[in-house]
């Protein structure tokens, strides 16, 4: 029985036990809907790697550690909680528990299906005393019924057997904490305190609250059973455990069928009775729909998603699978978040303590904006709901407007590291960028009126407070950290300045469109004029001798890093070298100026992009999973098409190949989104500068064809790229106004537009830091 992932276009399958790989596969096989997340642990509970069930936004607080405190340092951290686990369905075969580590496992196969939205498993097992069974399970977290998950558990007996099934709700599951902060470990040691336990018939409810954050959550379960005669059942609930037990004699060749329905809910305000009512209502809805109905709803939801989001590649089956894997997990992260954050790991694991970062707005939300715009809107509504906290943070820092946090669950800053946390003010511009991008792509005037304009105004006020005009009349933003965390507390980081520039101009545009909102927010014509002038005067440092832009003022004058003398085992550098040395050398953790050339490419000439890309390519070590997708975009635009594909492959396989060695803690949502970016913005050449959509597609030599789908202002369309030509077609909706390599076109329903692709520019070769070259295309196979 061979082990490992199988390559298939619409699923991720793993054959074999590979107990030592469980922590990895529990992340890749996770199911979620943006509200509930369930790691892919086995129903029997053991063996296990790192179990986890999460509710988006449900966290516990802990004190942040400081060797030496300072004014403005955040005091409390937030960490996602492993809530009551309802995945348990334990099985005893003639008093012997099903555990694949004992007896003989004759077959074991798990399949994550991107079309059905379920995790399936089949295990043929022989107990130590020679009793054989086949277990088939299927699990889903519903996209259509937000508070619902369900499991179908079938046991087929190969001999006459007595089977006992134990279906549990279990809170405060003991988990080894893998982080380095003992305060976090202490906070997460039995973080839930019991409020209520009830059980009757086949249904049970457990309710708990967190000790410090004071959040309440409830979990409920109900069951349907189909068995031969002789069934006995029982149920009880107490504190942290509710258990439904069914015992039945099953003749050889017959089966026991169990469907387990789960309902989850949490609140910072609702009472214990109200939460109980909420989860019981969720169960009632699930029972009314039934297992087959839930499956049908899940399939319809995903059929609609793939119609607007699918990517098809010919010439690389493994990459095809990886891209659909990426898209599936992105939609799982955000589909039903509904005014909650999208964490950096989604709901696939406890990595980054469950925090959301700027990754959401700059990497994940573009995918959702052009595929599932409602999910992008809801994520931005979460940012809007935290504006009071952002205003307070700005006030603590002595600034006006709103300063969104570097990392958070509830909107309050949780970063204890100032240079790469608080100083990374670009996050406020990133949020505003996502707002402007969403409004331009959807035309959602209601959102802009109710939430978007206020976000743009308050972040614009931050920039005019944070920056200043110098004696030369230039608008400077000093003492900040850009996306590159190896270059901290710098003056005039170009990415920050350009994202602020767009923020300022977007605020002006929104205020002009919504005069009544402008008045409510107290925006005067003088303030708008200040925003315009600041945007026009923003500093973009340029090295006249090298003829390249400086990532930040003076960057190109720093000493060079000794890449030749840095062994491979000393990457990532932050784990082996002091930050002060990184800060004063020309070494880049992740795309920074290169990211600016993507999202604000309208501010650079083609020659500048080529020279800048070559210069920073030689200094970027990609110690962050955020980098490869962006480098793919600029590699493609500057003519390095094969290099673009190498970076696309790296972004797409970050989790499937565990390139950073930490998939056990959850998937890298921004890298998965970066794979989409590498395809659509890289090989597809999609840009949306100023809200205008344009394309400049090209293929690397090794790919036969590429087709991707998107949505813009309610129109769904596809772009099919083959050797020498591209075809634009409407999938649904009205005409699309766009451009192809600078030529304006209109694509109408039923009237495809096919155009030739001009030859790519022939750039000079580029190099990467010694030992940091991307793996060549084909090495992932």
Active-site residues: which are they? 485
Report the SS3 class of residue 295: helix
Q: Do you find a cis peptide bond into 47, omega within 30 degrees of 0?
A: yes
Report the run of H or E that residue 719 belongs to, with start and end: strand 715-722
| Residues in the chain, overall count | 781
Report the SS3 class of residue 26: helix
Q: What is the distance between the alpha carbons of residues 378 and 365, in angstroms, rounded to a whole number?
A: 10
Structure tokens at 127: 């107990």
- The DSSP call for residue 667 is -
Contact at 8 Å (CB) between 462 and 399? yes
DSSP character string of 486-499 = TS-SBS--HHHHHH
End-to-end CA distance of the chain, in Å?
20
Q: What is the distance between the alpha carbons of residues 361 and 139, in angstroms, rounded to a whole number?
A: 30
CB-side exposure of 302: number of CA atoms within 13 Å?
25
E strand segments, 114-188: 118-126, 132-141, 148-157, 161-170
Structure tokens at 52: 């986890």
Q: Which of 333, 327, 329, 302 is nearest to 312 (CA)?
A: 327
Q: Which of 519, 525, 475 is nearest to 500 (CA)?
A: 475
Contact at 8 Å (CB) between 618 and 766? yes
Q: Where are the alpha helices (DSSP H) in 558-689?
A: 579-583, 593-599, 606-617, 627-637, 641-653, 669-677
Q: Where are the alpha helices (DSSP H) in 341-406?
A: 359, 365-369, 373-385, 387-396
Structure tokens at 755: 């155009």
- Cross-strand partners of 719: 708, 728
């Amino acid at each position: 029985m061979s082990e490992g992932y199988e390559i298939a276009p619409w699923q991720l399958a793993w054959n074999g036990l590979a107990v030592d790989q469980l922590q990895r596969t529990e992340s890749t096989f996770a199911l979620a809907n943006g509200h509930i997340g369930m790691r892919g642990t086995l129903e029997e509970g053991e063996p296990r790697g790192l179990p986890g069930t999460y509710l988006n936004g449900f966290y516990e607080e802990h004190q942040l550690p400081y060797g030496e405190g300072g004014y403005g340092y955040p005091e409390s951290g937030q960490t996602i909680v492993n809530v009551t686990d309802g995945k348990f369905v334990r099985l005893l075969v003639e008093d012997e528990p099903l555990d694949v580590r004992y007896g003989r496992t004759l077959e074991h196969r798990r399949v994550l299906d991107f079309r059905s939205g379920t995790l399936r498993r089949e295990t043929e097992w022989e107990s130590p005393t020679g009793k054989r069974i086949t277990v088939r399970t299927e699990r889903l977290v519903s996209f259509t019924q937000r508070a619902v998950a369900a499991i179908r558990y079938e046991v087929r007996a190969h001999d006459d057997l007595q089977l006992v099934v134990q279906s549990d709700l279990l809170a405060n599951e003991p988990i080894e904490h893998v982080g380095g902060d003992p305060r976090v470990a202490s906070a997460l040691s039995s973080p839930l305190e019991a409020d209520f336990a009830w059980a009757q018939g086949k249904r049970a409810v457990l309710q708990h609250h967190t000790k410090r954050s004071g959040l309440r959550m409830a979990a409920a379960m109900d069951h349907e059973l189909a068995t031969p005669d002789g069934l006995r059942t029982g149920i009880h609930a107490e504190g942290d455990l509710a258990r439904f037990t069914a015992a039945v004699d099953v003749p050889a060749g017959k089966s026991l069928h169990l469907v387990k329905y789960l309902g989850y809910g949490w609140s910072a305000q609702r009472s214990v009775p109200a939460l109980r009512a909420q989860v019981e209502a969720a169960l009632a809805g699930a029972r009314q729909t039934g297992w087959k109905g839930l499956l049908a709803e899940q399939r319809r939801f995903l059929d609609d998603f793939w119609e607007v989001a699918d990517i098809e590649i010919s010439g690389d089956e493994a990459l095809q699978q990886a891209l659909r894997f990426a898209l599936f997990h992105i939609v799982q992260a955000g589909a039903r978040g509904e005014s909650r954050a999208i964490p950096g790991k989604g709901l696939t694991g406890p990595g980054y303590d469950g925090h959301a970062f700027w990754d959401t707005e700059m990497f994940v939300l573009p995918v959702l904006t052009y595929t599932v715009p409602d999910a992008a809107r809801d994520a931005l509504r979460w940012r809007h709901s935290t504006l009071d906290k952002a205003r307070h943070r700005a006030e603590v820092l002595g600034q006006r407007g709103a300063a969104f946090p570097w990392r958070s669950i509830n909107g309050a800053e949780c970063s204890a590291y100032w240079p790469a946390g608080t100083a990374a003010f670009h996050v406020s511009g990133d949020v505003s960028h996502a707002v402007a991008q969403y409004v331009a792509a959807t035309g959602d005037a209601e959102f802009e009126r109710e939430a978007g304009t206020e976000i743009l105004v308050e972040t614009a006020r931050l920039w005019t407070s944070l920056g200043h005009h110098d004696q030369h009349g230039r608008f400077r933003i000093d003492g900040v950290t850009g996306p590159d965390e190896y270059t901290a507390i710098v003056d005039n980081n170009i990415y920050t300045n350009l994202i602020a520039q767009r923020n300022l101009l977007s605020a002006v545009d929104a205020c002009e469109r919504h005069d009544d909102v402008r008045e409510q927010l107290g925006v005067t014509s003088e303030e708008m004029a200040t925003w315009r002038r600041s945007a026009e005067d923003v500093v973009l440092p340029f090295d006249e001798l090298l003829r390249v832009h400086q990532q930040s003022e003076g960057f190109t004058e720093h000493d060079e890093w000794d890449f030749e003398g840095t062994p491979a085992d000393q990457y990532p550098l932050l784990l082996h070298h002091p930050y002060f040395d990184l800060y004063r050398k020309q070494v880049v953790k992740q795309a920074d100026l290169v990211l600016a050339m993507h999202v604000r490419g309208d501010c650079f000439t083609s020659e500048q992009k080529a020279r800048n890309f070559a210069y920073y390519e030689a200094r970027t070590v990609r110690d962050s999973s955020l980098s490869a997708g962006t480098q793919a975009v600029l590699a493609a635009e500057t003519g390095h098409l094969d290099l673009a594909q190498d970076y696309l492959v790296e972004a797409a396989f970050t989790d499937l190949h565990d390139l950073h060695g930490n998939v056990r803690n959850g998937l890298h949502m921004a890298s998965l989104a970066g794979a989409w970016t590498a395809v659509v913005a890289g090989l597809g050449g999609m840009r949306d500068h100023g809200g205008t959509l344009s394309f400049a597609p090209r293929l690397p030599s090794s790919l036969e064809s590429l087709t991707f789908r998107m949505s813009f202002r309610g129109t769904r369309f596809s772009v099919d790229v083959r050797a020498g030509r591209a075809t634009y077609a409407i999938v649904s909706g009205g005409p699309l106004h766009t451009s192809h390599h600078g030529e304006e076109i209109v694509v109408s329903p039923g009237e495809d537009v096919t155009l030739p692709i001009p030859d790519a520019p022939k750039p000079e070769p580029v190099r990467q830091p010694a030992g940091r070259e991307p793996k060549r295309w084909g090495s992932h196979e």
